Chain A
Amino acid sequence: MRWCLVLLVAVGCTRSPKPVELVAYEHRIKSAYNSTLEVRQPELLQQSVAAHRKAVTAWHRGDADMAIHYTRLADIYWRTAQALSHTKDLDDAAVAYSRQAAQAAESKALADERLASVERDIQRLDRLQRMKTELVEANRTARQERQANAARTRIDAAMRALRTAEDLDAERHALGQLNKARKSLQNAFDAYNAGRYREANTAADLTSADAAAAIAIARPLHAAEAEQRAVDAELRAMLEVAVSAPWADVRIERRGLVVGLRELFAPDKATLKTTIRVDPFTRLARAHPRFRVIVEGHTDNRGKAKDNLDLSEARAQAVAQIFQAAEIGADRLTTVGKGDSEPVADNATARGRALNRRVEVIFVRPTVRPATP
């Protein structure tokens, strides 16, 4: 009996080595032990443990095939539990990522909403900016238009002044001022066309000032010339009337219309033979009141010079009285005795002496002077 027991022990002690798969499996689960698996996959873990136990039992029994079979089963159960646990982890991760994605999407939606609001504000501000710019531009344009209109008005006034000066013949009387005015006007036009309205205003004012200066110089001279022409025309008209008297020698001299009247007196007498020859010229004097009348008495050279002078003066007085009787005021009349000092013919002949015995009625050309400013 004892030998049987020893034999049995010997046989028992000479068990075959553990299968490699069983050793590998035991090593694998030892290093990869995870308590989470016990919570998540308890059934599979139990199946794995049970299969492992059976594998060990089979190995103890010496049944290597069964030991390997149960080892494989235990490994499969273990790996299945691991896979399912990993899947759970992955599912949890997917859920977390999905939550993160949703939060990020929500954050982006908020940002998009905020962006839309900011964009609306920017558009509103852009519109406001454009409106302000347009308003500034409109004000600037209006201001420029006002300046242009004001410059135009001043230039027109300057042009009118310049035209007035030219009409007053400032070309002859005030050429310097006129040319200055013209130059200033050209500067005003150039500045206006270039949009420099202040400069145009200044140039227009200069034009007006120079034109006014030219007018101030030319106007009295122009008026004097017109007056002179009027006087000349009147004298010519008077000449036309005067030449109708055959007893009169009529001419226009520098001093005026000279009417030489002959055979008014008897020799050495100062009494008019007739007033008929004088009357036409008294009417002429009345018709042309602007002309002063000088009555000059002349004699021939017979007799004493003093006597001739007295006689000529008396005769002039006689004729002047006719004018006074015709209501020609004494302030217009002047009598002068010239004696024989101004003969018009040769005193050597009777004819000449007859011509020298005369009274000259001079309608004095009025002196036209330009009015002083």
Chain B
Amino acid sequence: MARWIGVMLWALCGIAHADQARITWFTQEARRLAKTDGAAEIAQAFGTLRAWIAEAQARQVAKDTAGVARTLARIEAQHKLVIALLDKVVAARRAAEARAQAEQNRKAASAAHIEVARREDARRRLELKVERAP
């Protein structure tokens, strides 16, 4: 019985220790992600993540093992969501940059073609002038 309790306690401690490690890791991740530029959606998701991390800490303190497990499951999913949202922001920025570059290149190409037409017209006029010269 005592052995079983000891094992249970050890498991609980182990679980508690593992849970704490995860909580710590997610805390550090939240700090890292907080430094990345993001939209309101990300800020909100990130805020939720941090709230749940705090909740997990509180449940950990209250030794609500089941509550910690549930919260950690949500934290894990929310973490992936935050990463996905950040990736989306990066992708949006990349797409915007690519669009801006495409627009810039299109304008430059258009301007270059206009300039070519203008200079070709000047060349034609000069050719006529040279032909007519005595």
Contacts and interface: CB of A to CB of B under 8 A. Distances in A.
A114 B94 CA distance: 32
Contacts of A90: 88, 91-92, 94-95
A77 interface: yes
Interface in B70-105: 70, 73-74, 77-78, 80-81, 84-85, 87-88, 91-92, 94-95, 97-99, 101-102, 104-105
B102 A122 contact: no
14 contacts: A69-B70, A84-B84, A86-B91, A93-B99, A94-B94, A95-B98, A98-B102, A104-B108, A105-B109, A108-B109, A112-B112, A115-B112, A125-B123, A132-B134
Given A76-B74, A77-B77, A129-B129, A104 B88 contact: no
Contacts of B119: 115, 118-119, 122
Interface of B: 70, 73-74, 77-78, 80-81, 84-85, 87-88, 91-92, 94-95, 97-99, 101-102, 104-106, 108-109, 112-113, 115-116, 119-120, 122-123, 126-127, 129-130, 133-134
Nearest to A95: B98
Nearest to A79: B81
B11 to A, nearest CB: 23
A97 B101 CA distance: 8
Contacts of A83: 81, 84-85, 87-88
B70 A108 contact: no
Given A83-B81, A90-B88, A97-B98, A105 B130 contact: no
A73 interface: yes
B133 to A, nearest CB: 5
The secondary structure that dominates the B interface is: helix
User: Of B85, B95, B113, B123, which is in contact with the most chain A CB atoms at under 10 Å from its CB?
Assistant: B95
A38 interface: no
Interface string A53-92: 0000000000000100100110011011001101100110
A107 B102 CA distance: 12
Contact of B88 (A87, A122, A126, A128): A87
Interface in A161-192: none
The secondary structure that dominates the A interface is: helix
Given A83-B84, A83-B87, A90-B88, A101 B116 contact: no
Contacts of B70: 66, 69
Given A114-B116, A133-B133, A91 B81 contact: no
Given A94-B91, A97-B95, 17 more contacts: A76-B77, A77-B77, A83-B85, A83-B87, A83-B88, A84-B87, A90-B91, A90-B95, A94-B97, A97-B98, A100-B102, A101-B104, A107-B112, A108-B109, A111-B112, A111-B116, A129-B133
